Structure 1
Amino acid sequence: SSRQRSASPGITLREHRKEALERMAVMANLGLHVFHPEWQNVRPGAMPQGRQYSTTFRMIAMKVFGRDEEITLPVQTCTKVVDVRDALARALGLDPESISFLVKQGCSTRKQMLSEEIAACVTVKGIKSFRPGRHQWPHPTGVIGAGYNGLKTAMLYTKAGNDNYVVFDRNDKVGGYCWITAANTHSKLQTEFGSFHIWWGQDLVTEKCPYPKGWEIWPKKKEVLAHFQHAAEAYGVLPNFRFKTNVAKMDVIGEKEDHDRYYRLTVAPVDGGDSTEVSVSSLFNYPGCMTRNRIIDYPGEDEFGGAVAYGMNDDCPYEELKGNNVAILGNGAFAVEN
């Protein structure tokens, strides 16, 4: 059999350069310093002066102390322990002084000095994982409004395993201003339910909230509110909700650039009672559609014997309209609905 022809020197050199560029990119993304050969203290035609550094790329393996989690990453022979330590600290948001590297030496283990070249296989002490940990905020996350967006925010936090949040709403249930107050009894969803429901998207679909079946395509107010309640109960978010509560005031505590500045909310029961203060580290504000009727006083209204009502907020007495002459002023969405 004929011997396989080896790659030409040009192809081999190109492949080595490509591999080196890829490893340099990984090192740069990790925040590791890449030492280029041309930076050596060598003048053309002269003998090398001072210490020479090996810029050859190699792979090292790092393992978390006391765990099985392990990663490999490219470094250069001249990469120091301090370089890897500082890169890890930046990536994980930790104090560099809390991180150390252990290396096997014979039948014992020793701590590597910061000035040493990083060993090929090291155990990292002082970290819990190579994945960045969740920042521990001093206060919960605040959400104002328990409508579509407020409820969905709570569900996303819960799905991510974070229940350190509190939702405030003036109403006594989920649904928000749009569907509890502004919508009429006969108001229908103006988009298909399949693309509107709260648990829309694979990131929120669960066994209790699968793709909706058995729901109307264009449900009315009652069914829309029922689906809000179903999602809230299925996800178990209601213990984090404070209903019939008004957020009356907000004070910002700390400077704009302070990492842990927070918001102090003054909240009060809508039925009366003493106000309390609640501190939150971040704040979502979903005030609703902010739809307000344009109130117009027509001459003679006080002498008119019939009912005068507006076409939203369930203000119109539909049970009294049958058999009567009705005038509808306006040609907007609620006028057409009515």
Structure 2
Amino acid sequence: MNNHTAVDMRIANFSNLELALDHMLTLDSHNIPSILHEIRKYADLPYGYLFTADQVGMVNDLLFELKKIRSTCFPYALFLIDDSGVNSAELKFGETGADVIKLDGENSRIAESAIIEYAQKRFIFDHRKLKIPGNKPLPKQVDVAIIGAGVTGLYAANQLARNNISFCVIDKEDIIGGIWSKYANTTSQVNTSEGGYRLVEQEFRSNRDHSTTREILEDIAQIARNVSDKVFLKTNVDRLEKLDDAYRLKISNGQQNSYLKSKGVILAINDRVGAPRKIDWENQSVFQGEILSGISDDAKDFDWKNKKVVIIGMGAFAVENARTALERGASHVTVVCRRHGTVCPKIIDYLNFATPYDESFKHDKKSNMRNMLLWKKLYDHSGATQPECWMGKIKHGGHTISVSDIWFIGHYLKKIETIAGKISGMYENGVIVENQHRIAADVVLNCVGFYRNALTVKKICDYKDMYNNNYVDKDLMYLADAYIDDDAFNSFFGSSVLEMAKFYMDVYVRFFDRGDYFAMIKSDGIETISIEDRKWSHYIDGAAALMSHYPDIYEAARKQVSARTKNFMEAHDIESYISANKREWIDTHSLLAGRPMKAEACLPYVFQKLVDKKI
């Protein structure tokens, strides 16, 4: 039985203290390369370091090495035991960005209390940081009006600020953050590798791979601080109209109506994710368990221990909630879906960003085929059901590809299964599928997706069509996620809406308030599409057309991809990544099985050959 206290932080323990905490990593070596290798194998939680006064020099050296690669293992907190004998000149920690907590004496209970108190405060995000003071007048005129204060809107604002283009950001909500503040769960993670969703280039520490909600919200709050005096919340755009060579926005904020004039507009309004779908099942009232939503932390306080879980849907939120349920002790998870979505292991997504592109931004076909064969082998070995569209298509139209290791491990351990079909009703102890299959459940989690938000833009303006390079009109760009069609993953964007926004903001600044926009929009490959029919493949094709006609845009894209790869590989090189991923792979088996498991008893880790063969 584990009598340890769970904390959301891993402690690298260099001292001789024995602590009754989970996630302890005891390190008795003084060899920096050896310590680095071991620490980076455990990169799945934020770090705190516990050490004594005579180890200050060694910790300083370790921090120096970790900072060079901006490792996710760079600590948030340094717990220093009894520093009375330390010369103040030796303490360089004030320059590290880590919090220093000094502990009196070598006492395990004192150390445990300090660690628990720190973790409980530091790793719970304060949503008040997403509020922007509203006691400022809306300007009458700016260069660019940005509608939407989510990730793309705030990124766009920062880019305009860097280029001395005046702007304001308008959002109808009372906090910034968009989907991340409105629909993400505390346990959510980015459904793409860290390098493909990096909002901020931090000085000391990169976010964890598949960054957490807390990390993303902290980054959102950080970039918002740069532009907070130009952000206006609880403000609606009721109408957008073209006036000669400018735009006029009719604005309301519950107190008064006003007008804003601008040269340009950026529509940072999510197209793909609108209002959540709500559904009631037949005989729902007779069900004796709980019915929860898989979004907005509705299940945050639910006790998953030993529960039979039914999840309805198989999008990214469904796969995420399956992970959360299993990690927190559910006895079994059944996913009921209309069709099987595509799930890939973390390393396949990692390779999508780590593998070099050729001059046409394509991956080597041999590497792609190798990765697909390893992926299929994992499906076969685990017993997870492949999507019905395989291998003709990588995913169903409209679906994303969910990223999860525990999906395959859970299937291998018979802790999770999927059933294709529709819920026809409920009974006292569970759900009924297709009027014949009864599935027992203690809790039913609805993850049935969202309505599309594509009509929002049409409601506020007269535009019905736009171009496949995200332009609606001169200096008017629709910069937002779109319908995920079949070719969405076949580009250097890597299915990351943030990478798409980075590219197109370079384009927007390049053509802003310039007459050559009109020649650009007539270029070969730039096509007219319906606003409500926006797809990922449209702005992928639009990007290709722009790069083929404008060498400077092509070079900007090369720099974007090169910098992304360099920064990502700096913090997550392939040998360290696979070492950490394989360690976590085995530990996840042990967690789900409720007992230690050896590698030979686990689902085979088929990706080791990527390191062995130096591919």
Q: TM-score range by the shorter chain?
A: 0.3 to 0.5
TM-score scaled to structure 2, two decimals?
0.27
Q: Greater CA radius of gyration, 1 or 2?
A: 1
TM-score scaled to structure 1, two decimals?
0.48
Q: Pick the structure with more helix per residue.
A: 2
